[in-house]
Amino acid sequence: MICLGLGLIITIIIIAFDFLISMWDAYAGGYSLGMMKKNGDPSKFRKISAYAAVGLGLVGATYVMAIVIGFIAYYLAYISLSTLEFVLSFDFIFLGILIIGFGFIITIQSIIIAAKRRSVWSILIALFNSFIIAFDIYIYVTSFRESLSVIRRTGRRSQGNGLMIVLIAALIAALMVHAAYKHGYKKALGATPQQSSRGGRGFRSTGMVEGKG
């Protein structure tokens, strides 16, 4: 019971942290885009990185919301265990690969920033991002086959219910991410010259939770 409780607490902490970082990704992406517009920055790579941060925020938030809604629905007996397993596995495979893709772009950006600035903070972010992207890839590769088998053996009704949960999660996440993005964008446009010189701080979503059934 103690081990189960501790494991649950750790999982909740990871999910909560993942969600907060997803919101920060969206905010940072909006801030960077706002700063680029304000300063007339034509850099395509910075723009791509900023949009990648927003995309990462959306995917990460959807990933978390799907897990949360899935567990709540299962706890309240609205869905079956098969549906919950499908949600976790679908979340892991399809949203997980997007997290890795967007995260890779953000990681490259953070390494470039660290090489230019050489500040302790930028180096720590680059190291953190590099570790997390490696961790995400490892978890994805090692758990892909098992998660795919869960999806394949799930009945169509459970799949439909699961996809509905993911869709609801995506809609909720989109609203939250849009709010964070707009806040960052407006914050950048109203920034003082001292704040403008700092630029946006890119970050990325934390590690994925395994989608095993």
pLDDT at 124 over 50: yes
Instruction: Classify residue 206: in a domain, yes or no.
Output: no
Q: What is the pTM of this model?
A: 0.83
Instruction: Classify residue 213: in a domain, yes or no.
Output: no
Instruction: Classify residue 207: in a domain, yes or no.
Output: no
State how far the Cα of 126 lies from the Cα of 207, in Å rounded to an integer: 15
| More confidently predicted of 78 and 213 | 78
Grade residue 72 by pLDDT with cuts at 50, 70 and 90: very high
- Name the domain count of the chain: 1
Each residue of 150-165: pLDDT tens digit? 999 999 999 999 999 9
Grade residue 210 by pLDDT with cuts at 50, 70 and 90: low
pLDDT at residue 198 in the model: 44
Q: Which domain holds residue 77?
A: 2-196
| Mean pLDDT, rounded, for 119-126 | 89
Instruction: Classify residue 203: in a domain, yes or no.
Output: no
Contact between residue 35 and residue 200 where contact means Cβ atoms under 8 Å apart: yes
Instruction: Classify residue 124: in a domain, yes or no.
Output: yes
State how far the Cα of 174 lies from the Cα of 55, in Å rounded to an integer: 10
Instruction: Classify residue 201: in a domain, yes or no.
Output: no
Instruction: Classify residue 43: in a domain, yes or no.
Output: yes
pLDDT at residue 147 in the model: 93
Contact between residue 50 and residue 158 where contact means Cβ atoms under 8 Å apart: no
State how far the Cα of 68 lies from the Cα of 116, in Å rounded to an integer: 39
Each residue of 9-46: pLDDT tens digit? 777 788 888 899 999 999 999 999 998 888 887 888 88
- The residue written with tokens 């009704």 in the block is 157
Grade residue 205 by pLDDT with cuts at 50, 70 and 90: very low
Helix boundaries (H) for 118-155: 120-153
Q: What mean pLDDT value characterizes the chain?
A: 85
Instruction: Classify residue 44: in a domain, yes or no.
Output: yes
